[in-house]
Amino acid sequence: MVVLLFDGVDLLDVTGPPEVFALLRRETDDPSGYHVLLAAETLDPVTTSAGVRVLPDITFQEAATRAIDTLMVPGSVEVDDQRRVHAIADPTVVDWVKTLAGRSRRIASVCVGAHLLAAAGLLDGKRATTHWTTAQQLAADHPSVEVDADPIFIRDQNVWTGAGITACLDLSLALVAEDFGEAVALRIARQLVMYLKRPSGQSQFSVPIEPVSTTRRMADLRHHITRNIPDSLTVADLAAHAHVSERQLTRIFKTELGTTPAAYLESARVEAARHRLESTDDTLDRIASACGLHTTDTLIRAFRRQLNTTPTEYRNRFRHSG
């Protein structure tokens, strides 16, 4: 197994999978398992995003002379002055990904490493995931890739893509399960104090990305929804507020936000409910009422649609004291 290294790479993306594979030897008393090699352009220490320097085992050139069982491609990001995250796809690294993928039986990206696979053409026509913060970027930069921002990992033929940060552990466990069976992977998961399969996707960890509207009218509509979340807002109410017909309102939402007025309303209400679940001890009934969802059943159904979990499960995972 070869794991790529390059300056600015996310540290956990590099070190997480080898930790999982090291536990395989301990749990099975099998000296074979995986032989992990860290490959970089040179043998000089590589500085990761955390500032920790990592020493490569081999160069990319050396790796290109070997038959590689699994090629693992981590990623790196840059953050602008508004805290927006952008995945980086260095052309030199992309070229080496193309070369080494041709020598590999199986390719796996970790977190935003999916952007490197996509830039190398390895995800064309395939379904893939990445960290939820860069999923929109991946879809925009590579229209031929079917991007799904929710799964913790996706396998499409011999290409695997993993979601964000600690999901490198989930992806690694899935590789172990495929190669050595689920019973072995479960034992390793227990040692890591984690699920073998998480109960839901990464959408429950994400926050809706506030769209940049192109008109003052749409900005006013979004603010109107936020200010009146507890009220029984309908599409007709929004159309009347914007002084347009319901049909025209639907066209506006589709054009500017890529969604429908009803779907946006539900998303805004679920987001408001998420904040209350995280920061208050309010009952589900009270939260449903305060967020315009009216009943606990409606709240639960909306959470299942939006986050593939329940309000109670979400609160148990994310509740924090005031």
- Out of 29-33, 68-72, 185-189, 262-266, least confident range: 29-33
291 as an active site residue: the answer is: no
**pLDDT at residue 9 greater than cutoff 70:** yes
Chain Cα centroid distance, residue 30: 33
Identify the burial level of 259 via C-beta atoms within 10 angstroms of its C-beta, where 0-12 means exposed, 13-18 middle and 19 or more buried. Answer: middle
Q: Is the pLDDT of residue 135 over 60?
A: yes
CA-to-CA dists, residue 211 to 82, 136, 275, angstroms: 14, 11, 19
Catalytic residue among 3, 39, 87, 111: 111
Q: Over pLDDT 90: what percentage of the chain? A: 67
154-165 as b/e, with b when 16 or more CB fall inside 10 Å?
Answer: bbeeebbbbbbb
Please check the confidence at residue 186 and state whether its pLDDT lies above 70. Answer: yes
CB 266 within 8 A of CB 305: yes
Distance in angstroms (rounded) separating the CA atoms of residues 240 and 195: 48
Question: What domains are there in the chain, each with its CATH number?
Answer: 2-204 (3.40.50.880), 216-318 (1.10.10.60)
Q: Are 21 and 88 in contact (CB under 8 A)?
A: no
For the segment 266-301, what is each residue's pLDDT rounded down to a tens digit?
999 998 998 899 889 999 999 999 999 999 999 999
Confidence of residue 322 (pLDDT cuts 50, 70, 90): very low
C-alpha separations of 217 from 220, 224, 244, 245, 256 in Å: 5, 10, 11, 14, 11
pLDDT tens figures, 74-132: 999 999 888 889 999 999 999 999 999 999 999 999 999 999 999 999 999 999 999 98
Q: What is the residue-wise DSSP string for 232-300?
A: ---HHHHHHHHTS-HHHHHHHHHHHHSS-HHHHHHHHHHHHHHHHHHH----HHHHHHHTT--SHHHHH
